[in-house]
């Protein structure tokens, strides 16, 4: 493990029985269930885009909840910037790691205006509030590609792409160092998806951000990630530089996953147009 890692997870185990905000155990007896995430070691270097890829149920979202502090791990340690990151975090620790979810219309209050959503972030972390709030808001919206006129509109009135820009603005408003994106572009139309990916790449440069990018879309991973971790049944089965994983996968599951991924069928014939292998009756 490189000492300069921004985020370092060691031996993380967590799952349905783990304690946390809004976890399944809340108000119930803790079940001795199978952990969803097992023995996960993962690091994110400063300025890196690290992808975590897996199918549904692989544990990638549970891992995200541990990292942002919504779920306490049963075992293992989370270190951030060289110091232990406990489950109960200080304001500054919470500020440093922000999250962007898949569906901004459910993660943001649809009846709140864009301005009040950003203002709420600044109220939670007052040290990050710009001297001139109005000017700061305009600048922030501009930095995520939104017109200042959007400030007064409710999230529910915005398009999916605009709403996702708002949730990115909310996350970066408080000056985080790590952005955890959980399927942040999966629900977007492809023409809009590229806009958001370009935005994330630009923000990484401008704000010196690291990004943990959780997704099931291997195409997106290939295009933007520096390194990738492949999760399967709660474990990381393979992690390496992105090109390395795609060109020389070692784990059998990674091979299966890469074998199943669809690219645009431009080069080959569509399956239905191929010659029939079965003998005709």
**Based on CB atoms, which residue is closest to other proteins, 148 or 192?**
192
What's the min distance (Å) between Cβ of 268 and other proteins? 8
The least CB distance from residue 201 to other proteins, in Å, is 7
Pick 174 or 237: Cβ nearer other proteins: 237
E strands, the chain, are: 7-14, 37-44, 49-53, 75-80, 83-84, 97-100, 178-182, 210-215, 227-232, 235-241
Cβ distance to other proteins smaller for residue 7 or 108: 108
75-80 vs 7-14, strand pairing mode? antiparallel
Task: Cite the beta strand spans of 136-221 per DSSP E.
Answer: 178-182, 210-215
Name every residue whose Cβ is closer than 8 Å to that of residue 268 and which is 6 or more positions away in sequence. none
DSSP secondary structure, 68-116, as one string = HTSB--SEEEEEETTEE--SS--HHHHHHEEEE-S-HHHHS-TTSBHHH
Residue 112 CB, shortest distance to other proteins, in Å, is 21
Residues that bind other proteins (CB under 8 A): 55-56, 159-162, 189-195, 197-198, 201, 216-224, 242-243, 246, 256-258, 260-266, 269-273, 276, 278
Q: How far is the CB of 161 from other proteins (least distance, A)?
A: 5
CB closer to other proteins out of 80 and 253? 253
Q: Rounded to whole angstroms, how far apart are CA atoms 244 and 230?
A: 12
Please report how close the Cβ of residue 107 comes to other proteins at its closest, in angstroms: 18
Q: Which is nearer to other proteins, 106 or 191 (CB)?
A: 191
For the record, the structure tokens of 172 come out as 């970066």
């Amino acid at each position: 493990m490189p000492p300069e890692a921004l985020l370092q997870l060691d031996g993380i185990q967590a799952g349905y029985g783990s304690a946390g905000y809004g976890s399944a155990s809340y108000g119930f007896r803790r079940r001795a269930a199978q952990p969803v995430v097992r023995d996960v070691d993962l690091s994110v270097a400063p300025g890196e885009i690290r992808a975590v890829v897996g199918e549904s149920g692989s544990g990638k979202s549970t891992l995200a909840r541990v990292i942002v502090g919504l779920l306490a791990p049963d075992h293992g340690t989370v270190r951030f910037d060289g110091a232990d990151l406990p489950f109960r975090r200080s304001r500054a620790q919470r500020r440093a790691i922000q999250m962007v979810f898949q569906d901004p219309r459910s993660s943001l209050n649809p009846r709140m205006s864009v301005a009040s959503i950003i203002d709420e972030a600044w109220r939670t972390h007052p040290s990050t509030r710009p001297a001139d709030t109005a000017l700061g808001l305009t600048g922030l919206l501009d930095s995520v590609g939104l017109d200042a006129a959007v400030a007064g509109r409710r999230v529910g009135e915005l398009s999916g792409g605009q709403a996702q820009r708002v949730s990115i603005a909310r996350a970066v408003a408080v000056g985080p160092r790590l952005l955890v994106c959980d399927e942040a572009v999966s629900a977007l139309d492809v023409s809009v998806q590229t806009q958001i990916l370009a935005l994330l790449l630009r923000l990484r440069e401008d704000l010196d951000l690291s990004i943990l990018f959780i997704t099931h879309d291997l195409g997106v991973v290939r295009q933007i990630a520096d390194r990738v971790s492949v999760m399967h049944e709660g474990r990381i089965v393979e992690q390496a530089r992105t090109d390395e994983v795609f060109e020389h996968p070692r784990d059998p599951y990674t091979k299966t996953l890469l074998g199943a991924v669809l690219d645009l069928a431009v080069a080959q014939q569509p399956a239905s147009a191929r010659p029939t292998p079965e003998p005709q009756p």
